[in-house]
Amino acid sequence: MSTNRLTLLLLATGLAGCAAHPDPIVDTKGVDPQKFAADWADCEAYSEEIVIGTGAAKGAAVGAAVGAAPGAIHGDAGESAATGALYGGTRSGLMADRDKQKVFKRCLRGRGYRVLN
């Protein structure tokens, strides 16, 4: 594995860890715990409709195609495609994770909860 790919792999791993934000923090003062648990489950189900893997796969495919073009000119299309795939997949996965968190928080706010983060 080349140094560039190893560096990108480590970067992708680090970024993926940053994407794993904790669950929304909700001010539960005066909130019925049973209703909150039901609403939490409903909102979580809505957020699960965003499939991170699909977005990451599409991003990887586009990244590979974009990366292969300049690599073909310089004689290393394979490595450039791999680098592009890693970048595109990671970026798309992070964006999908962010969208998932937004849906979850928006749902809770829409049900009247005070989301603190």
Q: Which helix (H) or strand (E) element contains residue 115?
A: strand 114-115
Helix (H) or strand (E) holding 114: strand 114-115
Q: Is the pLDDT of residue 101 over 80?
A: yes
> Is the pLDDT confidence value at 114 over 60?
yes
Per-residue model confidence as pLDDT tens digits over 3-62 = 555 555 555 555 555 455 568 999 999 999 999 999 999 999 988 887 655 554 555 555
What pLDDT, on the 0 to 100 scale, is given for residue 33? 96
pLDDT in tens, 34-49: 999 999 999 999 888 8
- Which residues have C-beta within 8 Å of that of residue 99, sequence separation ≥ 6? 50
pTM of this structure: 0.55
Output the pLDDT for position 50: 75
Between 39 and 74, residue with greater pLDDT: 39
Amino acid sitting at position 80? S
Mean pLDDT of 76-96: 64
For residue 86, give the 3-state DSSP assignment: helix
Confidence (pLDDT) at 49 = 84
Written as six digits, the tokens of 61 are 């495919």
